[in-house]
Copies of this chain bind each other. A is one copy, B any other.
């Protein structure tokens, strides 16, 4: 843990235990700097982090104050999935919910996608048009899997910038991260094999297991710090796990972020058991803190981590350009790709490469993160105000999902149906576990800041939930 993180943690514990109360002013940056013997900039970083987490708010010329929302909501406890293995069968519900996400007449609280209006689509279109017009015809053959050499170089540069050494040869361009994840899973497993996942877990992981006739074992996961590495160690001792599919950064649906030491321990544990990690990192760019969180891949020395990401959630929705940095499995993943969809769209690869080369991606990302961080604060505030008492929410440091645990008697499926009748979609917790354990939970997408009906929709869902709780 870095210095500023330790300071922030100390303060957040003081808030949780009631030492600081809502409305209290934090000590000034100078005072804290002196009392702790650290530089003012370290204190600023700590305060920024607390602000990003919604625990404190800056007021112009007055300093930092403890937020009113910060203590109202408590966070859900770590999950305790049963330790047995099970077949995977995900219900029709996923497709229904995905279907609703497309309907622009619904307020998309249940959507898996952020608002397309958050992205620089006009600039991308120019880059795409330019790239397509200048495309050397032969590149339509040369850019087939593993993909455009230019684009792979750009991606490798971004890995380097976050302190992660990925060789261009290790990169396979795919049709979005989803295909990358599926190909990696296919490469390291065979029918009937067992795969460890978080609990709750992203439904697409469950679907991928179902599609490949794999079995799942769910592992205890904390809503703030992600999968519990000790629990995973116990699972690995008892079960013949062939691979893990995890999201260390801003997990879907929890929004959890594994601390660096936990990532390091995870990679070491898997190396010891020689179990590959399929790392889903599509939200890694959407951090609210001062630094980009490194993926588990950064600690990988054995080529066991297959890091998958894309531009779909950070830059270019609908372009369907993703990749796998597949370590020692890269050649095998490339072959699977040639055997399944052959290649990602060549003009899209070329267009993105051109956009990245011209710069502007990082500026766009800063704006995007700021918009999402603000929206997260608003959403937590709204939920704490309008949802029934006893509701618990996560306060993720990145991404665009909040995980809500409702008071026990509320059935999220009923809430889902009643919300739909009010033209609001939500993602009921049932989607996020093979045994539908999260029946009084929901995932709320706050990635639509421009949606004028958003605030009203949260209020409406809260009202319905309160009525259900009171029954």
List A residues at the B interface (Cβ < 8 Å): 95, 98, 101-102, 104, 111, 113, 116-117, 119, 121-122, 124-126, 128-130, 132-133, 135, 137-144, 174-176, 178-179, 182, 186, 190-191, 204, 207-208, 210-211, 213, 317-321, 335-336, 338-348, 351
Contacts and interface: CB of A to CB of B under 8 A. Distances in A.
Contacts of A141: 101-102, 104, 111, 113, 116, 317-318
Contacts of A98: 338
A339 B207 contact: yes
Given A175-B341, A348-B345, A133 B129 contact: yes
A150 to B, nearest CB: 15
Contacts of A179: 175, 340-342
Nearest to A124: B132
Nearest to A115: B137
Contacts of A340: 178-179, 182, 208, 211, 340
A98 B348 CA distance: 22
Contacts of A130: 129
Contact of A116 (B116, B124, B138): B138
A348 to B, nearest CB: 5
A117 B132 contact: no
Given A141-B102, A317-B141, A341 B178 contact: yes
A272 B79 CA distance: 52
Contacts of A178: 340-342
A132 B142 contact: no
Oligomer copy total: 2
A174 B345 CA distance: 11
B211 A339 contact: yes
Nearest to A334: B95
| Dominant SS among interface residues on chain A | helix
Contact of A320 (B95, B121, B204, B344): B344
A148 B295 CA distance: 35
Contacts of A175: 175, 179, 320, 341-345
A162 B208 CA distance: 37
A321 B128 CA distance: 16
Contact of A336 (B132, B174, B211, B345): B211
Given A141-B317, A345-B348, 19 more contacts: A98-B338, A104-B142, A116-B138, A121-B137, A124-B132, A129-B130, A129-B132, A139-B318, A141-B318, A143-B318, A178-B341, A179-B340, A182-B340, A318-B345, A318-B346, A320-B344, A340-B340, A347-B347, A348-B348
A140 B95 contact: no
Nearest to A118: B137
Contact of A119 (B137, B186, B347): B137
Contacts of A208: 339-340
Nearest to A104: B138
A319 B346 contact: yes
18 contacts: A95-B338, A116-B140, A119-B137, A125-B347, A128-B128, A129-B129, A129-B133, A141-B317, A175-B341, A175-B344, A175-B345, A178-B342, A182-B341, A191-B213, A321-B345, A345-B345, A347-B347, A347-B351
A37 B119 CA distance: 68
Contacts of A126: 129, 133
B113 A342 contact: no
Given A175-B175, A338-B98, A340-B179, A125 B135 contact: yes
B317 A345 contact: no
A292 to B, nearest CB: 24
